[in-house]
């Protein structure tokens, strides 16, 4: 092997011990509309600073349109107003750029002051938009400061108090980037203190800030016989019930991280205390492991897996099945068919409701909730929507069944076939509001139509992919000679395997096609699948390293479909996402 004369490459996190001077850290801070994503609070600003060896490598900053009004007390605290975030990008537009800035979980450690708050918000927002949050290791400067400083030195470990104690050059201001910069300085000051007591590696720092209990150390032996291969791992309690289901490219190595100081999540440490056995289920490919994880979580609903992963909670926008249909947000996917109009899945109630408001604005579908019967028509009175000609008032018998069916058929088309009219309606309204300088209202309409198009594009893609009778795909692993081959039928993974060379692909396909398969019900969109499984497989099969080898059916999307209109609408306001990098080459 030829010797290299270049500088040594940066060590990866799995090359423990990792010297702190070689680690890449991203210090992140958020501003939000409230204290918890569970209460509906949303992110309004992200600030992040990437550092290595005491040097700043780059900065990331953007305001975010939360899609809801900012409470007055938050505006007083941060200075962020509704007018400031109205032209800002949505979180779904920001997240890919932020994750790209951070880098992979195998090379980057996240740092935050009160990390459960900031990282908790980011994870919840990623889940709401169906993004898989990378398994970053996280350091909390609050915990480090508590272990490092005494009460005699600082009365508390609030960011402002620590900034004053250490005399940081850029004090916190309750704005994301300023607070992230202040946290960087505080982190460096804390490392100086800890270096005097022998804390020099990432493992030293994690053990210092979050030491393992004797019980946790004792249970580490549960991982002794686990394989070093791709697959699933299942933590089970004393009654053999699944507590948590996860996947990894290296099962044993991943499980061991739960018994290390790097595992700071209180729920995971609680789970470890209840664990009696850890089961390993090796799989031939990573996509196989990911799909089995989805199915097992759906089947067992383990208490320590994220609730948002449970597929019966996915939200769809559809028409009710009644005499005078209306738009409703429904959970689950069991009753969806090719004939039924529905869009989704949506990441949360806010997106689904925005999509519904977009259709209410563009059509005269009724918005009232009571079921209309001959008896109710005699007693009802029309609402203001009838007066402003936004509803034909079937509730009072002002329209016939045939006339109203034309309205519901039009809405049905907007849910399954044609999004253009809804977009044109909103373009016209947004242009009018902009000319009148009513920018906040224009931004609100943009949010509504963007949410509608996001749901429309997802369901359009899922229908096309899940209609394929059979799809065999070969994926060439990035940086590896191995080739994954998967057989997918009607949106469901049937089988997969790995081959070592291109010459073995043909024999691998023959092996996959030799499986005995059950008949498929042609009427259902997802006969043996779920939207989440189909979408995961679709992303995998659409990867730049994936190549379709065999297709039965037509895999196509309309040129001017939902994705086209979504991109067009998003250009109404270019994302104000700024990433400032050092001149130094990373």
Helix (H) and strand (E) counts in the chain:
21, 16
DSSP 436-492: TT-HHHHHHHHHHHHHHHHHHHHHHHHHHHHT-SEEEEEEEPTT-S-EEEEEEETTE
In whole angstroms, give the CA distance from residue 364 to residue 54. Answer: 60
CA-based nearest residue to 279, from 218, 216, 225: 225
Structural contact between residues 450 and 90, judged by C-beta atoms closer than 8 angstroms: yes
Give 76's DSSP letter. H
CA-based nearest residue to 498, from 214, 283, 281, 324: 283
In whole angstroms, give the CA distance from residue 348 to residue 44. Answer: 17
Q: Are strands 55-63 and 578-581 parallel, antiparallel or unpaired?
A: antiparallel
How many other CB atoms are found less than 10 A from the CB of residue 314?
A: 20
237-267 burial, b for 16+ CB within 10 Å, e for fewer?
Answer: eeeeebbbbbbbeebbebbbbbbbbbbbeee
Structural contact between residues 202 and 18, judged by C-beta atoms closer than 8 angstroms: yes
- Rg, Å, the chain Cα set: 27
Kind and range of the H or E run holding 191: helix 176-195
Q: Which of 113, 129, 174, 189 is catalytic?
A: 174
Structural contact between residues 578 and 62, judged by C-beta atoms closer than 8 angstroms: yes
In whole angstroms, give the CA distance from residue 156 to residue 177. Answer: 22
In whole angstroms, give the CA distance from residue 34 to residue 74. Answer: 8
**Is 174 labeled as catalytic in the residue annotation?**
yes
How many other CB atoms are found less than 10 A from the CB of residue 98?
A: 19
163-180 burial, b for 16+ CB within 10 Å, e for fewer?
Answer: bebbebeeebebbbbbbb
In whole angstroms, give the CA distance from residue 173 to residue 78. Answer: 8
Contacts of 24 (CB under 8 A, 6+ apart): 10, 50, 51, 52, 57, 103, 107, 108, 109
CA-based nearest residue to 287, from 441, 544, 6, 487: 487
Secondary structure of 507-566 in HEC code, one letter for each residue? HHHHHHHCCCCCCCCCCECCCCCCHHHHHHHHHHHCCCCEEEEEEECCCCCCCCCHHHHH
Residues marked active site are found at 174
């Amino acid at each position: 092997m030829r010797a290299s004369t270049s500088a040594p490459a940066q060590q990866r996190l799995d090359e423990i011990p990792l010297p702190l001077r070689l680690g890449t850290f991203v210090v992140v801070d958020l501003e939000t509309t409230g204290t918890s994503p569970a209460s509906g609070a949303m992110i309004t600003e992200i600030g992040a600073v990437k550092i290595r060896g005491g040097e700043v490598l780059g900065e990331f900053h953007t305001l975010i349109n939360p899609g809801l009004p900012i409470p007055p007390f938050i505006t007083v605290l941060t200075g962020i107003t509704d007018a400031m975030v109205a032209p800002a990008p949505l979180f779904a537009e920001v997240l890919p750029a932020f994750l790209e800035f951070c880098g992979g979980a195998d090379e980057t450690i996240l740092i935050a002051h009160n990390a459960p708050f900031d990282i908790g918000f980011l994870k919840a927002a990623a889940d709401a938009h169906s993004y898989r949050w990378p398994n970053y290791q996280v350091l909390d400067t609050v915990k480090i400061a508590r272990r490092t400083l005494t009460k005699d030195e600082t009365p508390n470990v609030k960011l402002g108090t620590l900034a004053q104690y250490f005399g940081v050059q850029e004090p916190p201001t309750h704005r994301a980037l300023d607070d992230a910069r202040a946290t960087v300085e505080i982190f460096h000051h804390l490392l100086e203190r800890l270096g005097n007591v022998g804390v020099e590696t990432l493992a030293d720092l994690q053990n210092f800030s979050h030491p393992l209990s004797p019980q946790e150390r004792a249970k580490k032996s549960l991982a002794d016989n686990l394989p070093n291969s791709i697959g699933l791992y299942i933590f089970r309690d004393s009654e053999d019930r699944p507590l948590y289901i996860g996947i990894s490219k290296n099962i044993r190595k991943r499980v061991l991280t739960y018994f290390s100081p790097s595992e700071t999540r209180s729920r995971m440490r609680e789970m470890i205390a209840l664990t009696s056995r850890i089961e390993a289920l090796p799989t031939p490919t990573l996509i196989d492991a990911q799909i089995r994880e989805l199915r097992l979580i759906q089947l067992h609903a383990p208490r320590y897996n994220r609730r948002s992963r449970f597929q019966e909670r996915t939200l769809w926008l559809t028409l009710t099945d009644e005499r005078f249909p209306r738009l409703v947000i429904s959970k689950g996917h069991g009753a969806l068919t090719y004939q039924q109009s529905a869009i989704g899945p949506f990441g949360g109630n806010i997106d689904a409701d925005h999509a519904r408001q977009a259709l209410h604005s563009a059509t005269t579908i009724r918005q009232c909730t009571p079921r209309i019967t001959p008896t109710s028509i005699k007693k009802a009175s029309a609402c203001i929507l009838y007066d402003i000609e936004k509803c034909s008032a079937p509730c009072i018998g002002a329209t016939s069944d045939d006339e109203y069916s034309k309205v519901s058929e039009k809405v049905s088309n907007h849910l399954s076939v044609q999004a253009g009219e809804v977009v044109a309606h909103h373009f016209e309204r947004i242009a009018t509001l902009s000319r009148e300088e009513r920018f906040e209202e224009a931004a609100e309409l943009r949010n509504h139509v963007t949410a509608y198009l996001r749901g429309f594009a997802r369901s359009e893609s899922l229908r096309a992919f899940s209609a394929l009778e059979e799809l065999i795909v070969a994926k060439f692993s990035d940086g590896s000679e191995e080739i994954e081959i998967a057989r997918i039928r009607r949106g469901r993974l049937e089988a997969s395997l790995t081959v070592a060379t291109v010459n073995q692909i043909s024999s691998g396909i023959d092996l996959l096609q030799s499986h005995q398969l059950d008949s498929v019900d042609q009427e259902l969109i997802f006969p043996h699948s779920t939207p989440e499984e189909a979408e995961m497989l679709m992303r995998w099969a659409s990867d730049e390293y994936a190549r379709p080898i065999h297709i039965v059916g037509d895999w196509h999307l309309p040129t001017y479909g939902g994705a086209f209109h979504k991109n067009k609408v998003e250009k109404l306001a270019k994302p104000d996402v700024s990433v400032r990098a050092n001149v130094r080459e990373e």
